[in-house]
Homo-oligomer: A and B are copies of this chain.
Amino acid sequence: MIRGVYCASVTPVKADLSPDLDALAAHARALIADGCDGVALLGTTGEANSFSLAERRTVLEAAVQAVGADRLMPGTGVNALPETIELTRHALSLGVSRVVMLPPSYYKGVSDEGLFRAYAQVIETLADDRLRVVLYHIPQVSGVAISHDLIERLVTAFPQTVVGIKDSAGKIENMQAMIARFPGFSVLAGADPLLLPLMGMGGAGCITATSNLVAESLATVYRHHAAPEKVAEAQARINAFRDLSNSYVQIPAIKAMVAFRHGQALFARTRPPLVGLNDAELADLKLRLGAIGATVKDLAA
């Protein structure tokens, strides 16, 4: 099983909006030092779909150099299956065997049969025993849900390969039902407040954006989930950071908070169609970060 606290890492960009690989590497190392079990880069928070395939490859290569292939779980699912295959094959070529795979998500209302064929085509074309696929259920963004019947078909057809799901829909009942129906399947929460209840139900861990900022608190909750008195403070800290980011547009806010964490303005940049926080919002955020006890560094250019 894939267990632990994984960070849905941001992807820093330079002034020309190309990936800043040095900053990415430094951030990935910081996340591991914070206590993350791994870095789930190139997901929704990582603006993966805003980067070209070529850029995505350079980002993954820089991360492998920084923290090692075993620590990584990149997103490789895009709309065109030949490109999902290409990105996944590239990850495997670097020794990265675990990937989070978004279904093709341009068409909405597609059938489980169509999604099964999509995942099957990728897995069968790659035909690599090392591959471990974490499905990605984030219907509020992708518009395409991963149903339990689809999971059933996939784990039956590819039991060694389809090993888990990142559930970012925010409904604990859905996670509980998957844990009950699919023994040994890793259910990972995409929302920080759900890590604690999920662990109590037999969940596997989390992949969240807030872990860009407070991974050590998430690691505390993960480790001591059976002892509520040990996790209250950590959970309160996580919730404070999460609530703060969610009071803005989330991804630009997370990137700005990472910028204040490292004291580097570059981390606050986003790629269109996302829009970074403006100067007034940054000034406001800085005050509010201080108010929740964050260490806030001045932003160097």
Contacts and interface: CB of A to CB of B under 8 A. Distances in A.
A162 to B, nearest CB: 16
B117 A275 contact: yes
11 contacts: A17-B121, A50-B79, A50-B80, A50-B81, A52-B83, A53-B83, A104-B273, A108-B143, A111-B273, A114-B275, A118-B272
A4 to B, nearest CB: 26
Contacts of A273: 103-104, 107, 110-111, 114-115, 117-118, 144
Nearest to A122: B272
Interface of A: 17, 44, 49-55, 78-83, 86, 103-108, 110-111, 113-115, 117-118, 121, 140-144, 249, 251, 271-275
A235 to B, nearest CB: 28
B80 A272 contact: no
Contacts of A49: 79-80, 104, 106-107
B52 A272 contact: no
A106 B251 CA distance: 13
